[in-house]
Structure 1
Amino acid sequence: MYKLIACDLDETLLNDDTHVGKRNRKAIAAVTKMGVKFVPATGRGFKAITQTLQEINLIDQPNEYVISFNGGCITENKDNQVMKFQGLSWQMANQLYQLGQKYDVCIHVYTKDMLYVYNTNKEENKYINGRHVYRIIDNDNLDFLKGQEIAKELYGNPNMPYLKEIAADLGDLTNELDVSYSSNRYLEFNHQGVNKGAGLLWLARKLGIKPEETMALGDNFNDLSMIKAAGLGVGMANTNPEMKDQCDFITTADNNHDGVAEAIERFVLQK
């Protein structure tokens, strides 16, 4: 039996309007009642998913957890207690920030409490509204964040081939980072070895759960590490085609039609 379900949010659990569908909510309530841990695993910060935790009735609950910042932070929902945090050094974050200004990208810099966005536009603002509390900046560097804990950074552009060109152009620098892609618009940078898969395995060990007793659901490359690490890795129907063959199962329903519930019903509730 699966005892822990790690689930991506955007384009997986959430529909395009950033809400949890009724069938998904019902399935999550059923497994939670069984004692299964349902763990949101997101690239966003843990304080940015309050709406989702409210919708699935896990807000401020003890012994329930969130994997955030692509595995950079693991928290217990009760009082947002940080159990583990591993972010970027200020030096690395500042280097990425200044390099990013050479490219046609928006730049996101995440601290525990705030998202700072450089070079945004109307399309980007439309996407992040409702997903983040953010502040627009135009600084040349990140001197204003010295001494603060920086969780991760990313470059945004809806042209994915262009983002892959940037990753190649960064060369050896990417060897010092954990690099992934998300939402078909972001090139993400975490501390080396920090990813959702590592976060899932760390939390499972903490809870005394075996890797084969875990299930992971996602749709894009920042989810692939946990899809491969879990006992069962599930991709949504809308999963990036380039990684579908690395999933154990692909749902017939996409994120707008409760694909998460489809997988939970089949493999956990066994309907």
Structure 2
Amino acid sequence: MYKLITCDLDETLLSDNTHVCERNKEAIKKATDLGVKFVPATGRGYDAVSGTLKEIGLYNKENEYVISFNGACVTENKSNQVLRFDGLNYDIANELYKMGKEKDVCIHVYTKDIVYVYNMNDDERKYMEKRHRFEEIDKADLSFIKGQDIPKVLYESTNQEYLRDIAKEMGELANKLDVSYSSNRYLEFNSQGINKGVGLLWLANKLGIKPEETMALGDNFNDLSMIKAAGLGVGMANTNPDMKDQCNIITKADNNQGGVAEAIERFVLNEDNN
């Protein structure tokens, strides 16, 4: 039986309206009643997950967890207690910020409490307002947050080809980073060796759960590390087509139709989905 489920939020657990559908809520409740750990694994910060935790009944609960910032942080839901943190080196984060300015992309710089955003357009502002606490900036560099923890930096553009070109041009800097893509608009940078898969395996080990007893659910490339690390890697019907063949299964339902519930019903609750 799968004892630990890690699950991406946007475009996976959450419908396009940024909420959890009733089918997903019911399946998660049944699984957690059996003692299964349901762990959101997100590129967001842990504070930004509180609304979703309330919807699925895991808010401020002891012995329940969140993997955030693409694996840079693992917290216990009770009082958001940080159990593990591995952020970016300041000099690397500052270099990424300056490079992003030269490339004329929107830049997100994450701290534990807030996202600082440079060069934000109206579309991105609307997208972020539903998901994060953020502050728009126009700074020459990141000296104003030097000394703070910086979990990750990302570039935003709806031109995915342009983002991939930027990644190819990064040279030696890319070797110091864990690079991924998400939401068909983000190029994300974490510290080297930090990703959702590492977060999953670290938490499973802490809880005494074997890797083969874990399930991971996602839809995009920042989820791929945990999909490949888990005993069962599940992609939603709306998963990026370029990574579907790297998932163990693809659900029939997408994020708006309860794809997460479909996987839980089939592989945890042993219900017939046909």
Instruction: Name the TM-score, length of structure 2 as normaliser.
Output: 0.98
- Secondary structure of the residue aligned to 2:221 is coil
Q: Distance in 1 between matches of 2:238 and 2:175?
A: 29
Amino acid paired to 1:203: L
Amino acid paired to 2:133: V
* Equivalent residue number for residue 144 of structure 2: 144
Amino acid paired to 2:214: T
* Identity over aligned pairs, percent: 69
Q: Does 2:43 align with 1:43?
A: yes
How big is each residue's C-alpha offset from its partner over 1:29-55, in whole Å with a ceiling of 9 and x where there is no partner?
A: 000000000000000000011110000
* Equivalent residue number for residue 254 of structure 2: 254
Q: Does 2:102 align with 1:102?
A: yes
How big is each residue's C-alpha offset from its partner over 1:186-217, in whole Å with a ceiling of 9 and x where there is no partner?
A: 00000000000000000000000000000000
Q: Distance in 2 between matches of 1:255 and 1:127?
A: 17
* Equivalent residue number for residue 192 of structure 1: 192
* Equivalent residue number for residue 163 of structure 1: 163
Q: Distance in 1 between matches of 2:66 and 2:78?
A: 10
* Equivalent residue number for residue 72 of structure 2: 72
* Equivalent residue number for residue 266 of structure 1: 266
* Equivalent residue number for residue 24 of structure 1: 24
Q: Does 2:89 align with 1:89?
A: yes
- Secondary structure of the residue aligned to 1:257 is coil
* Equivalent residue number for residue 218 of structure 1: 218
Q: Distance in 2 between matches of 1:41 and 1:131?
A: 14
- Secondary structure of the residue aligned to 2:169 is helix
Q: Please state how far the C-alpha of 1:109 moved relative to its aligned partner.
A: 0.3
* Equivalent residue number for residue 126 of structure 2: 126
Q: Please state how far the C-alpha of 1:104 moved relative to its aligned partner.
A: 2.8
Q: Does 2:120 align with 1:154?
A: no
Q: Distance in 1 between matches of 2:59 and 2:32?
A: 13
Q: Distance in 2 between matches of 1:168 and 1:144?
A: 29
How big is each residue's C-alpha offset from its partner over 1:111-150, in whole Å with a ceiling of 9 and x where there is no partner?
A: 0011000000001011111100000000010000111010
- 1:104 and 1:157 in contact (8 A); partners too: no
Q: Please state how far the C-alpha of 1:105 moved relative to its aligned partner.
A: 1.0
How big is each residue's C-alpha offset from its partner over 1:222-253, in whole Å with a ceiling of 9 and x where there is no partner?
A: 00000000000000000000000000000011
Task: Give the RMSD, CA atoms, in angstroms.
Answer: 0.5
Q: Distance in 2 between matches of 1:43 and 1:79?
A: 20
Q: Please state how far the C-alpha of 1:92 moved relative to its aligned partner.
A: 0.6
Q: Distance in 2 between matches of 1:30 and 1:158?
A: 38
- 1:153 and 1:190 in contact (8 A); partners too: yes
Q: Distance in 2 between matches of 1:129 and 1:235?
A: 26
Q: Distance in 2 between matches of 1:2 and 1:263?
A: 11
Q: Please state how far the C-alpha of 1:172 moved relative to its aligned partner.
A: 1.6
* Equivalent residue number for residue 232 of structure 2: 232
* Equivalent residue number for residue 208 of structure 1: 208
Q: Does 2:47 align with 1:33?
A: no
* Equivalent residue number for residue 241 of structure 2: 241
- Secondary structure of the residue aligned to 1:101 is helix
Q: Distance in 2 between matches of 1:75 and 1:67?
A: 7
Q: Please list every run of 5 or more consecutive structure 2 residues that lacks an aligned counterpart in the other structure.
A: none
- Secondary structure of the residue aligned to 1:153 is strand
How big is each residue's C-alpha offset from its partner over 1:22-76, in whole Å with a ceiling of 9 and x where there is no partner?
A: 0000000000000000000000000011110000010000000000000000000
Amino acid paired to 1:82: V
Amino acid paired to 1:12: T
Amino acid paired to 2:71: G
Instruction: Name the TM-score, length of structure 1 as normaliser.
Output: 0.99
* Equivalent residue number for residue 60 of structure 1: 60
Q: Please list every run of 5 or more consecutive structure 1 residues that lacks an aligned counterpart in the other structure.
A: none
